[in-house]
Amino acid sequence: MMLAKIEISEKIYLPIFYILIAIILYAILSKLVDRVLIVNKFNKKRSAFQEKREKTIVNLIKSIIKYIIAVIALLSILNVYGIETKSIIASLGIAGAIIGLAFQDTIKSLLAGISIIFDNRYMQGDIVTINGFKGEVISLGLQTTKIKSYSGEVLVISNNIITSVINHSMYNSKLLLELPVSSNVSLKDIEKIFNKVINNIKEMKEVKGEITLQGIEKLNSRSYIYKIEIDCVSNKQEIVNREFMKLLKDEYEKNGIVIP
């Protein structure tokens, strides 16, 4: 009778014990994975693309850990109740082979999704051109990618059929300005105006890195073209360009300079 009572009590507390161990183990491993991001946050040179990539990879690793721990805990609980887990594992292997044949495209998409993440091709929030369609990545799953164009269309594409990717957000972009200046305006005066505009432009969040006065690009009897290079956040050149032109026009008017 005593042995029977012990057997019944094990069937009650052991499953609870395994579940608690699984929860604690996942919490510990999850924190260890998160430490990767905590360490890298002190790196000020880290780009927005790197931040998105790290978050995506961390979430993927945590999901894999969660499912592995859940399967191990379930098999342990089944073993407590006397269910032969070896036969279940063998059955799962056969079933897995059958499912693998039936869902080849799905499995290919899953593997392609993992490859996209680890190969740094793109992340959620990036501006990309995929198979000729340009837009913002609004969703990056293991099976599909969703891209929203500027006009509102959404492309949902299986990861395994993505053949070409142009990532417009991976690195900072360069804005090259070719500004016409009347030949009767001295180089000293125009550079003074340009520097004043540049000092205001530098405060914009869309401007990253250096702003270079490259000098005269073209020259004729009536005017010359002055070239300026600005490092911008990817895909923000138009915003910087509009603000630069607005400030430049104001300075031209203040100094009585006519646009040729």
Instruction: Tell me the domains of the chain and their CATH numbers.
Output: 2-39+46-102 (1.10.287), 121-167 (2.30.30.60), 173-254 (3.30.70.100)
Model pLDDT, residue 6: 47
State the pLDDT at residue 33: 80
Could you identify the residue written with the tokens 């905590």? 38
Cα–Cα distance for residue pair 194/95, rounded to 1 Å: 70
DSSP secondary structure letter of residue 214: E
| pLDDT (0 to 100) of residue 39 | 52
The pLDDT of residue 2 is 46
Query: Are 137 and 128 spatial neighbours (Cβ–Cβ below 8 Å)?
Result: yes
Q: Token pair of 110, please?
A: 């899953």
Number of neighbours of residue 112 by Cβ within 10 angstroms: 20
- Give per-10-residue mean pLDDT for the chain (260 aa): 51 82 89 69 55 70 82 82 68 58 59 71 84 86 83 88 82 84 88 90 83 86 89 83 92 85
Which residues lie below 8 Å from residue 136, measured CB to CB, with a gap of 6+?
125, 126, 127, 128, 147, 148
In angstroms and rounded to an integer, the radius of gyration of the C-alpha atoms of the chain is 30
What b/e readout covers 171-204, taking b as 16+ CB neighbours within 10 angstroms? ebbebebebebeeebeeeebeebbebbbeebeeb
| Contact (CB, 8 A) for 80 and 14 | yes
Report which DSSP code applies to 161.
G
